[in-house]
Each structure stands twice: as structure tokens, then as C-alpha cells.
Amino acid sequence: MHPITHAQARPDHPAIIMAASGQTISYGEMDRTANRFARLLRGKGLGRDDRFAVLMENHALYLQLVWGSQRAGTMMVPVSTRLTAPEIAYIMQDAGAGMLVTSVKYADLVAELRRECSGCSFLVLGEGGADDLEAALAEHDDAPLDDPLPGQYMLYSSGTTGRPKGVKPKPPENDDVLAVNALVGLAVMGAGMPTDGSMVYLSPAPLYHAAPLAWCTTAQRLGGTVIVMERFDPEEALAVIERYRVTDSQWVPTHFVRMLKLDEAVRSRYDLSSHKRAIHAAAPCPVPVKRAMIEWWGPIIIEYYAGSEGIGMTLIKSEDWLAHPGSVGKAIHGTVHVCDPDGKEVPPESDGLIYFENDSVPTYHNDPVKTAEAMHKRGWMTLGDIGHLDTDGYLYLTDRKSHMIISGGVNIYPQEIENLLVTHDKVMDAAVIGAPDADLGERVVAVIQPIDMDEAGEGLEQELRDFLAPSLSRIKMPKQFDFRADLPREANGKLYKRELRDEYKLKAAEGAAA
């Protein structure tokens, strides 16, 4: 189960289709390009564990470069296209990446990066000059390497609570590039993905994120066709499922919310009958949102909870979720422990910091302090989430530890408030944060993205207060509602609350100085 074997057995079978343009790359084409890129990397002196970064939009070449790295033995560092040049430079320097593979779409960033990373080399898709990526690929033979080695990724956190941190994986268990990995087993045994090459897999999210990258490559290990959306649009996602007869897909809760906000006439316009499995993760999904999705799509939705660190995973299918609404499932990799601030395990139904016990845990690259902060004294590791187990062993997520608001000495988890707000029919998105407050320490602030900005104002604020009142205690009710056209949310669903908190801290400091 590997693209190399599929290229030999079915070279003309589509490996990649770009959703909007219809551009199609066969397994044979992908194999040849991957070989060229592997030779290019080796020609630049990059081998086992050597790092290079990739900053690129969702492009047909992206996954082909991934498979080239997977043969050259190199460490690929995917970079978010949302970052600024200084942030990208920091990641490259922290990772020790001496080369950036990028696109002319980011020409302004590249110009700045050439100044900030003067010792690095660049390959630019579409540039047409001396550093043109396609020209560099064409200079190399497309035959397989004589000594292929499995490559790896160094994934960086989204930086939602500070500077991004690289997750340094354990070395591969062996040098067999065709070895089956654990995610293939999960896809087949846990999710029921087919192994006969019939899968048509939809990826609506940026390929530089951990989950899209992992699931797209897993689909290709299984011989499926990966449909890549250039960018997510809720109605277009439904149209793509119909157009390409998609069988499998992977989402985040924000995608669900956007699709549910479509008019019923739009939602019912498309034939989704080919769709057999819809996987989602990345953030807690509000119970009403997931229930509505199951009612719409049927019991095909599979949720998992995990992280780039790879220390553990839970999984839950629709049938079990309906019996345990809000749960992210039982552990299928690693053992879950929920602990109080002193590290003592708490009883079922009690919230605490979630740890995974696993024989193999990673480290945060160049950050022993962060690694130590994530570790329990018994060797378990946390992703920083708060939650609880029920008496049947099902895990429930409450919020991120770093998102907790302390107002008047009371701990408030904003996820609960956000989950309610996004179900209001006039709200597209919501972020709840703690802003500095002289009396309370922090006050609860709700930052709302309305569906229609013309409705923003006191009237909508009162409507939202009335909507929340039956479900929230007074201490949890936002003291302040602000409205804006967009929130700083990553395309993988992660909300950059740090940016909002910093903004409100700055306003408070300026107000105090005035």
C-alpha cells in the first residue's frame, strides 16, 4: 500500500484532481515527479533528517513534493501561508531548514525572506528565473533512487498561544519506504476506508496542516483519488462531492457551521449519495452542530481527537456519538488519563488536564521547557486540553487550558459560550476571550462575526444576550459584545485567540495611560 506500487499497477489512475480547475495528475505522473524531486533534494546535499520548508498554496504539485521527500529521507517542514515573513523566518531558522520551496503567489514574502534568510536557497514555482522550481525538477531524471529512505515531517504548532513550536518526531522504525504506517490501519480498520483503489477523497483544507497532509497521503497509500479544493467554500464543497462522486472526506467544525448556514434550498440542491465517510477533528464540535450534520448526511460522520505530537488518539462513530453526545470517543491509540493541577487522576465526570500514556513520546524542537511543561511526572504527555472521561470511558473536551478565563476568581471556559453562539441563526462565527478588567481581573468578551454586518449593533447584542440567558450562569455571560466582519481563524479551524487577547490588552494599556 504505497503510491509507488499503485504507479506500477495502475499508472493512469488519478492520484490528484484539483477541484476547481479539474487538473488531474495520475499515479504514474506523481511517481515520476516525486522521483525527480527526490533527486533534486539529494543533489542539493539533503538526506536523512536534513530539513527544508514548503510554503505553497493548495497546488497539484504539493503532494508530489511530499512523496519526493518521503523517498529522499528528508524532513519536510510545512509552513502556513497565513504567516508573516518574520514568522516564517523564525520557523526556518528554528528548524534548521536551509531551503524554502515556495510559489510566485508569495513573491512579496519571498523577497523579504531572501533578506532575512540570506544563507538559504529558494525554489519558486512559477518564477521563471534561476530559482524556478519546475525548471529545476526538469533537470533531474525521473527514475527511482537506488537508495531511497523514508522521510518525515516536522510540523509546527499554529502559534495560537505564542511562537510556533516544532514537533520533532521519532526516527522511522526502518528504512523501508513502502512500510505501512499506523494511520493506514486506522483508516481501514477504524474508519472503514476501502483498499481497492475506489476511494475518492475530498480535502477542503490547506495541505500544510497536519490532518489534511496525513489523510491525503493515507488516501494515496490506499490507491484512492484525492480531490483538493483550492480554497474552501461551503456551497462549492457540496458541488464537488456531487461532481466527483466523493466517497470520503475530512473536515473541521467550522466547515460544518458554514455549510449549515446555507439556505435549505442550497443544501438540498446537491446529490451527496456517494458520500460514505466524513471524518472531522481539530476542535470541539458543538453538539447541536454535529447532531444537525448527522441528520443531514446520515450516520457517516467519524470524529477523532489527536494532535501533531502523535501521542494518542480517540475515535467515535456517529452511532456511538448519538448515545454519548459531545464525546470525542474512546482511546484507540495510547491510554487517556485526566489529572488535577497536582497531577493526581480525577474520577469520571470530573474535568482535568488530559494526558496520553504512550511508549513513545516526541519532543518540542529546541524547546526543552515546553517539552517539560507538557509532561506528567509519570511520563505521560498532554496536548493542553481540559476535559473528562465518563463512566464508560468516553472522553469529552471542555476547552484548551490556555483559553481559560479567570473572572472574579471563577474559572470560565469560553468554548461552552462559543458553542452556543455559533448556533444562533444570525452568527457566522464567534470568539470568546478574557480581556483585562480592573475589578474582575478579566471580563468575558464575545467577539462576533455576524452573517450580515448590517445587523451588528445593540439590537443584535440584546438578542444574543436573551439567547444565551437560559443556558449560561450570570458569571459566564459576556460583559461585552463586539462585532467585526472577520475573525482571525486559520483555515484548519483554529482560532488565533492570542491575536484578539493581545489587541484587547493593548487597548486596556492605552486606556490606562490616557
3-state SS, one letter per residue, for 196-213: CCCCEEEECCCCCCHHHH
| Residue 144 DSSP one-character state | P
Residue 403's nearest CA partner among 389, 419, 423 is 419
Q: Is 218 a member of any domain?
A: no
Question: How many other CB atoms are found less than 10 A from the CB of residue 1?
Answer: 17
- Among the candidates 111, 144, 176, a domain finishes at 176
Tell me which residue range forms the domain holding 164.
30-176
pLDDT at residue 308 greater than cutoff 90:
no
- The position carrying cell 456531487 is 242
pLDDT at residue 8 greater than cutoff 90:
yes
pLDDT bucket at 282, cuts 50 / 70 / 90: confident
395-410 tens-digit pLDDT: 999 888 888 898 888 8
Beta strands 405-407 and 410-412 are: antiparallel
Residue 387's nearest CA partner among 430, 320, 327, 304 is 327
* Per-residue burial over 87-124, b = 16 or more CB atoms within 10 Å of its CB, e = otherwise: bbbbbbebbbbbbbbbbebbeebbebbeeebeebebbb
List residues bridging with 314 in a β-sheet.
305, 331
Q: Is 211 a member of any domain?
A: no
Q: Domain with 491 in it: what CATH number?
A: 3.30.300.30
Mean pLDDT calculated for residue range 420-432: 94
Mean pLDDT calculated for residue range 462-466: 96
- Among the candidates 142, 160, 176, a domain finishes at 176
> Looking at residue 158, what is its pLDDT?
63
Mean pLDDT calculated for residue range 150-162: 77
Higher per-residue confidence, 382 vs 169: 382
Task: Compute the distance between CA of residue 57 and CA of residue 107 in angstroms, rounded to an integer.
Answer: 12
Q: Is 134 a member of any domain?
A: yes
Q: Is 396 a member of any domain?
A: no
H-helix segments, 327-453: 368-373, 414-421
Q: Is 302 a member of any domain?
A: no
237-278 tens-digit pLDDT: 999 999 999 999 999 898 999 999 999 999 999 999 999 999
Sheet holding 75-78, edge to edge: 121-125, 97-103, 51-55, 75-78, 152-153
pLDDT at residue 159 greater than cutoff 60:
no
The Cβ-side half-sphere exposure at 265, using a 13 Å CA radius, reads: 0
Burial class (CB in 10 A: 0-12, 13-18, 19+), 378: exposed
List residues bridging with 480 in a β-sheet.
445
Q: Are 214 and 245 in contact (CB under 8 A)?
A: no
> Looking at residue 492, what is its pLDDT?
67
Apex 419 CA angle, 414 and 424, nearest 5: 125
pLDDT at residue 157 greater than cutoff 80:
no
The Cβ-side half-sphere exposure at 421, using a 13 Å CA radius, reads: 29
> Looking at residue 169, what is its pLDDT?
84
47-62 tens-digit pLDDT: 998 999 999 999 999 9
Q: Which of 133-137, 221-225, 362-366 has the lowest mean pLDDT?
A: 362-366
Q: How many domains in the chain?
A: 2
Mean pLDDT calculated for residue range 11-24: 98
Share of the chain above pLDDT 70, in %: 98
Task: Compute the distance between CA of residue 194 and CA of residue 188 in angstroms, rounded to an integer.
Answer: 7
pLDDT at residue 36 greater than cutoff 90:
yes
Q: Cell numbers of 126, please?
A: 512559477
Apex 282 CA angle, 279 and 288, nearest 5: 70
The pTM of the whole model exceeds 0.85: yes
Residue 72's nearest CA partner among 175, 185, 170, 148 is 148
Task: Compute the distance between CA of residue 436 and CA of residue 405 in angstroms, rounded to an integer.
Answer: 10
pLDDT bucket at 441, cuts 50 / 70 / 90: confident
> Looking at residue 145, what is its pLDDT?
96
> Looking at residue 162, what is its pLDDT?
61
Q: CA-CA-CA-CA torsion for 188, 191, 192, 196, nearest 10 degrees? A: -50
pLDDT bucket at 431, cuts 50 / 70 / 90: very high
Q: Domain with 110 in it: what CATH number?
A: 3.40.50.12780
Q: Are 451 and 427 in contact (CB under 8 A)?
A: yes
Apex 482 CA angle, 476 and 488, nearest 5: 95
- Among the candidates 122, 145, 176, a domain finishes at 176
Residue 305's nearest CA partner among 413, 395, 173 is 395
pLDDT at residue 339 greater than cutoff 70:
yes
Task: Compute the distance between CA of residue 279 and CA of residue 300 in angstroms, rounded to an integer.
Answer: 8
181-222 tens-digit pLDDT: 888 888 898 889 999 999 999 999 999 998 899 999 999 999
SS3 430: strand
Q: Is 102 a member of any domain?
A: yes
> Looking at residue 366, what is its pLDDT?
87
> Looking at residue 216, what is its pLDDT?
97
Q: Is 225 a member of any domain?
A: no
Residue 25: φ, ψ to 5°: -120, 120
68-90 tens-digit pLDDT: 999 999 999 999 998 889 999 99
Question: Which amino acid belongs to residue 307?
Answer: G
Question: How many other CB atoms are found less than 10 A from the CB of residue 419?
Answer: 21
Q: Is 252 a member of any domain?
A: no
Q: Are 240 and 270 in contact (CB under 8 A)?
A: no
